Structure 1
Amino acid sequence: LPILLFSINLGSGSLEEVEQSISHLATQLLSAKGEFGQWLYPTLEGETLIEHPPLLAWLIAVAYQFGGVNEWTTRLPSAILSVLSVLLVYGLATEIFPCRQKAIFSSLIYLTFLPIAHYGRMAILDGANLCFVVLMMWCVLRSRRDSRWSLPAGIGLGLIFLTKGILVAFLITAIALLFLAWDTPRLLTSTYWWLGLLLGYSPALAWYTVPLLVQDQRAVTTTKAILYESLRPIWTAVDGQNRLPWYYLGEMLKFSAPWLLFFSYWLQQAWKNRHWGWAKLVLVWAGGYLIAISLLATKLPGYVLPVYPALALAGGAQLTDIWHWPSGKSYPRFWSIGLSLLGVATITVMLHFGIRKAFDLSSWLFFACVPLTMVIAGMLVARQDRQFMVILFWGTYISLLILMSSDPEIWQLLI
């Protein structure tokens, strides 16, 4: 399922501006095969690119080496990492839940989040970073049973740094430490854990100290500039991305249908079950990370992606419990009403834009599939039929699959 969703029509449409930048960087790296310094600290037009380490550009350059320079190879590394992230969410859920059904539901919810499907197919840092975040958290969970897994967790942390820089690495480290302090404090005294942490930050130490080995003023200036650019989003709205503190909540509400209808119930149940490991992880991960990025001066849509795996875990746990509810227990009426309203809203959007723009067949199928899914699921909820979950999973997946096959311009209407 994830392979099809992240690969279909992958090379269609021109690259967006942010994709063009990293594609140009990867092309430059490809032409500088023997220049180690250029690969470590890439330059464009004589300027050293110091905002983020170039791991994704390295991967794209490798893809260019084997498949040529085109839209498909530009997006291929991100798509592969997104497929792996779905498998890692499943592994994460099997590690923290004793029931395999919860793991299946968690991975399906994660796969059918619109932001995951959209950004996971783009050649941007946030989609690639998400895979490494889930990898690290999976290793952290496994380290509770075998502390030697702290070393692979460190590798995941190092990959996070090489993708998004020191700021995101700090945030994910803080989340892991808070979770372990609450759930498994004994692990914080393990030598393996601190060795893993050192292993994770060794790429950062190398990234910041290698220029100093040159022992000239320009190298010192480069190191200071790298540190400044890495931490600047904390106090400065980079590129004018200054938004209100609740910006990310709005983004999640806009683009998380149909699962947004269940968010409040999921988080409420996580709080009630906070003595369990899965609930501790969800609360620390989703709550801690969301609060942290909301306090940053710079706010970009992709920053919120690491919240979705935690929400998927909460959803998988609660939907499985609902699946096993007694037949006489009623579902909240808000669910059926909300699903029906989502269907009506989709039809309204279809009519509004359909008058102004000529859609292709795939776009019309998408606008037909979404309301059909929502209305049928709403009817099943009203009848207290647990099959509404199956309809939501498959209907949302098919809708996203059709969307990926449609005119790329349709994204401009939705995102």
Structure 2
Amino acid sequence: MNRQTFIWGHSGSRIRSTQRWVERMWVFSLLLAALLLFCINLDSPPLLNGGEQTVNQVARELSSTPWASWQWFYPTFGDQSYVEEPPLLYWLIALAYKTGNDSTLMTRLPTALLSVLSIPLFYGIGREIFPSRQNALFSSFIYLTVLPVVQYGRLAILDSTVLCFVMLMMVCLLRSRRDFRWSLGAGIGFGLICLTQGIGLGFVLLAIGFIFIAWDTPRLLRSGYWWLGWVLGIIPALVWYTLPLVYSQGFLTANLVKESLQPFWHSVEINRILKSDYDYLLELLKFSVPWLLFWSYGLGLAWNNRNWGWAKFVLVWTGVYGGAVCLMAFPLPEYSLPLYPALALAGGAQLTAVWNLPRSQSYPRLWLFGLSFMCLGAIASTIYLVLEASQSLFPVVSSSVALTLAGAAILVARRDLQFIFILFWGMYVSLLLLMTSSHWIVS
């Protein structure tokens, strides 16, 4: 009797211990999968002309500078101050050069490791806003297998570096609804965004967070402790932006603010704006295979459930950032990176809803037609690459994608839920094959 009582009395703690162990295993698995995908074959091909080579040059000059030099706060390119971007990425790469050497691998490694870290942080976002672990896992698998996220996440560019800090800010913002102390982490994340890509993107993401809080948890906006955490968190970024004013070098701050906001206020003709937005939309659609099919339904699901916290978060993030991109004069493909987390959350919610449907209920016909059309496109690409006698792994990659889409289409036609796992596993393997080649930078 005592033995039974002992077991019963500790059942709650044992369940909690098991849940924590399962949670850690999932986080470790996601981290390991991301580490392999983002870091394999990182030193090939050589640094890209323009962006990566500029980053390499600035970081190289910085790594040879004494620690006490003013140049560490405001790097130079040649003999002039480099005020186009804030210095956080250059700091990280310069530190990598000091610990290792000046090579392609060391140039890309800091960004790749931050991209790896962004995956468990994104999973943390899902665990905060969704009622079940399944939603968070499906969303994380989608996010991990989006081509632009992986491709740009391996490059030494600002757009991919900032994603990790976006995840940090958002997960801390969500957790601050339960514990005010997490607002400090949200403020630190915002400050790191501003120190990476400027205050323009920082304020757009800050607007997303504040609009969501005003809609979902407005009581936080009346809390002095919550605001105090934000203020303390952004102090390092605030000091960096205002320090030149103390030393009578206000032109640095003025130029940095101007460069940060230039994508939003650059004046161009209206037809050129429409054309650039059209090209941007095509790029977004082209690189969203096959998850675009589920994102659209996920956004509809969010709208129908907009009284739930996760739906509010997805709708605000998608609407505010999508609107900001439309205001940009020339939206580049990499500008879409902060949009993919919101779309992945929507897709994960949709797949979870499908998983819980009655077995007798059919799936949307668009899924079957869409997957079949994408499969035919992948087959046509494979045939073209074989006829061209391509020496790269592209025919193998396109064949892998075609098999994945074909298998998923067949399972969708049979109303078999295994199509979800076929898509996850097949897209991951296809991306892994692509990253092992020397032509993983695709356009």
- TM-score, structure 2 as length reference: 0.88
Residue identity opposite 2:409 in structure 1: G
Aligned pair 1:149/2:168, yes or no?
no
Classify 1:167/1:199 alpha carbon distance in 2 versus 1 (closer, same or farther; 3 Å).
Answer: farther
Deviation at 1:357, TM superposition (A): 5.2
Residue identity opposite 1:96 in structure 2: I
For residues 153 and 75 of structure 2, the distance between their equivalents in structure 1, rounded to whole angstroms, comes to: 24
Aligned pair 1:198/2:231, yes or no?
yes
Aligned pair 1:124/2:124, yes or no?
no
For residues 220 and 256 of structure 2, the distance between their equivalents in structure 1, rounded to whole angstroms, comes to: 33
Q: Deviations over 1:329-360 (max 9, x none)?
A: 00111111111111110122233344345223
Size of the aligned set, in residue pairs, is 406
Q: Deviations over 1:271-306 (max 9, x none)?
A: 001000000000000111111121122322211111
For residues 122 and 245 of structure 1, the distance between their equivalents in structure 2, rounded to whole angstroms, comes to: 24
Does the 8 Å CA contact 1:179/1:280 hold for their aligned counterparts? yes
Aligned pair 1:396/2:427, yes or no?
yes
Give the aligned partner of residue 221 of structure 1. Answer: 251
Classify 1:188/1:65 alpha carbon distance in 2 versus 1 (closer, same or farther; 3 Å).
Answer: same
Deviation at 1:377, TM superposition (A): 0.4
Aligned partner (choices 415, 420, 436) of residue 384 of structure 1: 415
Give the aligned partner of residue 313 of structure 1. Answer: 345
Deviation at 1:258, TM superposition (A): 0.6
Aligned pair 1:174/2:207, yes or no?
yes
Residue identity opposite 1:183 in structure 2: D
1:18-29 alignment runs, 5 A limit: 18-29=51-62
Deviation at 1:237, TM superposition (A): 6.6
Give the aligned partner of residue 345 of structure 1. Answer: 377
For residues 95 and 134 of structure 1, the distance between their equivalents in structure 2, rounded to whole angstroms, comes to: 12
Deviation at 1:196, TM superposition (A): 2.9
Q: Deviations over 1:4-50 (max 9, x none)?
A: 11111111111112111101111111000334310111111222111
Give the aligned partner of residue 75 of structure 2. Answer: 42
Residue identity opposite 2:400 in structure 1: C
Q: Deviations over 1:143-162 (max 9, x none)?
A: 01111111111011111011
Identical aligned residues as a percent: 53
Does the 8 Å CA contact 2:204/2:321 hold for their aligned counterparts? yes
For residues 329 and 201 of structure 2, the distance between their equivalents in structure 1, rounded to whole angstroms, comes to: 14
For residues 136 and 34 of structure 1, the distance between their equivalents in structure 2, rounded to whole angstroms, comes to: 29
For residues 254 and 116 of structure 2, the distance between their equivalents in structure 1, rounded to whole angstroms, comes to: 36
For residues 237 and 298 of structure 1, the distance between their equivalents in structure 2, rounded to whole angstroms, comes to: 10
Deviation at 1:320, TM superposition (A): 1.1
Give the aligned partner of residue 287 of structure 2. Answer: 255
Q: Which moved more, 1:6-15 or 1:272-281?
A: 6-15
Q: Deviations over 1:217-259 (max 9, x none)?
A: xx13333222222222212179xx9653344432221101010
Unaligned runs of 5+ in 1: none
Aligned partner (choices 67, 77, 90) of residue 123 of structure 2: 90
Q: Deviations over 1:104-124 (max 9, x none)?
A: 111101000111110111111
Q: Which moved more, 1:286-295 or 1:203-212?
A: 203-212
Residue identity opposite 1:363 in structure 2: F
Aligned pair 1:297/2:324, yes or no?
no
Q: Which moved more, 1:273-282 or 1:327-336?
A: 327-336
Residue identity opposite 1:95 in structure 2: E
Classify 1:302/1:149 alpha carbon distance in 2 versus 1 (closer, same or farther; 3 Å).
Answer: same
Classify 1:246/1:190 alpha carbon distance in 2 versus 1 (closer, same or farther; 3 Å).
Answer: farther
Aligned partner (choices 402, 407, 414) of residue 438 of structure 2: 407
Give the aligned partner of residue 359 of structure 1. Answer: 391
SS in 1 for 2:298: helix
Deviation at 1:187, TM superposition (A): 0.5
Residue identity opposite 2:356 in structure 1: H
For residues 192 and 386 of structure 2, the distance between their equivalents in structure 1, rounded to whole angstroms, comes to: 44
Give the aligned partner of residue 304 of structure 2. Answer: 272
Give the aligned partner of residue 336 of structure 1. Answer: 368
SS in 2 for 1:325: coil
For residues 73 and 251 of structure 2, the distance between their equivalents in structure 1, rounded to whole angstroms, comes to: 16
Classify 1:396/1:31 alpha carbon distance in 2 versus 1 (closer, same or farther; 3 Å).
Answer: same
Classify 1:385/1:237 alpha carbon distance in 2 versus 1 (closer, same or farther; 3 Å).
Answer: farther
Unaligned runs of 5+ in 2: 1-32
Does the 8 Å CA contact 2:86/2:256 hold for their aligned counterparts? no
Q: Deviations over 1:198-231 (max 9, x none)?
A: 234433432332112223xxx1333322222222
Q: Deviations over 1:58-110 (max 9, x none)?
A: 11111111221111111111111111111011111111112111111111010
Q: 4+ residue stretches of structure 1 with deviation over 6 A?
A: none
Does the 8 Å CA contact 2:294/2:351 hold for their aligned counterparts? no
For residues 237 and 50 of structure 1, the distance between their equivalents in structure 2, rounded to whole angstroms, comes to: 21
Give the aligned partner of residue 320 of structure 2. Answer: 288
Does the 8 Å CA contact 1:158/1:204 hold for their aligned counterparts? yes
Give the aligned partner of residue 7 of structure 1. Answer: 39
Aligned pair 1:371/2:405, yes or no?
no
SS in 2 for 1:147: coil
For residues 207 and 389 of structure 2, the distance between their equivalents in structure 1, rounded to whole angstroms, comes to: 47
Give the aligned partner of residue 137 of structure 1. Answer: 170
- The CA RMSD over aligned residues, in Å, is 1.7
Deviation at 1:137, TM superposition (A): 0.5
- TM-score, structure 1 as length reference: 0.94
